[in-house]
């Protein structure tokens, strides 16, 4: 999963749930400014920040061995 794609996935999930950036920011404890920048400028969040957002969206960050045969 490419990093840009990962951020796009996060954004899509948020929209899917009908949650606004402001709501997600409030619920996750991540600054609204940070979230806005992340979703637009394709930022470089820390693991903690990403996890806070993922939590609220019912998602999780995983680190897995790549599977050659798909």
Residues that bind DNA (CB under 7 A): 15, 20-22, 29-34, 36-41, 43-46, 48-49
Which residue of 18, 65, 69, 70 would you call a contact of a second copy, by CB under 8 A? 65
CB 52 within 8 A of CB 42: no
Looking at the Cβ atoms of 53 and 67, the one nearer to DNA is 53
CB 30 within 8 A of CB 41: no
Size of the site for a second copy (CB under 8 A): 23
Any contact of residue 54 with a second copy (CB under 8 A)?
yes
CA distance 47 to 18: 24
């Amino acid at each position: 999963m490419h990093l840009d794609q990962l951020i796009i996935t996060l954004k899509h999930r948020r929209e899917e749930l009908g949650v606004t950036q402001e709501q997600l920011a409030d619920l996750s404890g991540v600054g609204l400014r940070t979230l806005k920048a992340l979703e637009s400028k394709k930022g470089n969040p820390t693991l903690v920040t990403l996890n806070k957002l993922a939590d609220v969206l019912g998602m999780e960050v995983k680190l897995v061995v790549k599977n050659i045969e798909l």
